[in-house]
Structure 1
């Protein structure tokens, strides 16, 4: 079935709203001892503030409507699983301590990230200059994250725009910040896993 331009726009809005319904359940599934400030959703997306265990089936039009997932390369269950993996990753990505070695930092994300991406994260965490600064300032970071929108998707891949709030304690004091990332999850034999993360403003949007 070919959609009109208006139906295509409506479809995208409905997908974002359905995704917005995943927030509380996913955010509530992983608690941290220190809670960063609430993340700000992007101006063009529904915030992840209320979430059922699974995304509701969404229809368009009257007379019984049409299941939107017939036009998407993933199922309702896929979207729920991909969203859950993304929010869990967001809680671990900026959650670390200066006393924590690279292997331990990455081990927390076992099952959430692909093997190749895990190696990349470990190398980045162990970068000499970054590691030296982390140790010198006795940095301790905690984080939480929420999905703001879907940036793009394809067969077996979804890229979410995610707000990650970080609380960073150092010998100089404590600071809070929120950054927006593009987090790509892919489907494989073990489920949905994060395969890439970058600042949302980097590259093409």
Structure 2
């Protein structure tokens, strides 16, 4: 078999365009997740993420973003975070979903002090009708890591 003519996409459940769209969504979502302001209404934050996620995940994000302790801490410390993200690799591919490992970077200002923070996430993107939606989102080191050998 000639490696130059080998098409891996014919063996996978998604086309090249599907993978690109799913990967773009995982990256955009992670960047948006890491972008917020202490003076921003949690509803505005969740609405920004809403078009990218399933209804179930949207409800979960809304609960987390509205947690009184979190809001109080962010207001007291005047936290402003600007997120970006980079795709690291694919963790798993199923018939209707792909799990991407994505590193989120944040430039965080807290009480006037600026810091850089990084965290890798497992972002599960699934087909939802004719489009892609983020179905699950968690730190990459939580849960099953798949093949570790």
TM-score (norm 2): 0.91
Alignment of 1:71-82 (within 5 A): 71-82=11-22
Residue 124 (structure 2) aligns with:
184
Whether 1:117 and 2:57 are equivalent positions in the alignment is yes
Deviations 1:12-60 (A, max 9, x none): xxxxxxxxxxxxxxxxxxxxxxxxxxxxxxxxxxxxxxxxxxxxxxxxx
1:204 aligned to 141, 144, 147, which one?
Answer: 144
Residue 163 (structure 1) aligns with:
103
Gaps of 5+ in 1: 1-60
Tell me, what secondary structure is at the counterpart of 2:73?
A: helix
Residue 51 (structure 1) aligns with:
none
Relative to structure 1, the CA distance from residue 65 to residue 130 in structure 2 (aligned partners, 3 Å threshold; closer, same or farther) is same
Aligned length: 145
Relative to structure 1, the CA distance from residue 64 to residue 129 in structure 2 (aligned partners, 3 Å threshold; closer, same or farther) is closer
Larger Rg: 1
Deviation at 1:141, TM superposition (A): 0.6
Deviation at 1:75, TM superposition (A): 1.2
Deviation at 1:175, TM superposition (A): 0.9
TM-score (norm 1): 0.67
Residue 86 (structure 2) aligns with:
146
Residue 175 (structure 1) aligns with:
115
- How far apart in 2 are the matches of 1:63 and 1:173? 52
Which structure is higher in strand share? 2
Tell me, what secondary structure is at the counterpart of 1:108?
A: helix
Tell me, what secondary structure is at the counterpart of 2:27?
A: helix
Residue 131 (structure 1) aligns with:
71
Gaps of 5+ in 2: none
Q: Which runs of 4+ in 1 moved over 2 A?
A: 63-66
Tell me, what secondary structure is at the counterpart of 1:201?
A: coil
- How far apart in 2 are the matches of 1:151 and 1:187? 17
Deviation at 1:86, TM superposition (A): 1.0
Residue 40 (structure 2) aligns with:
100
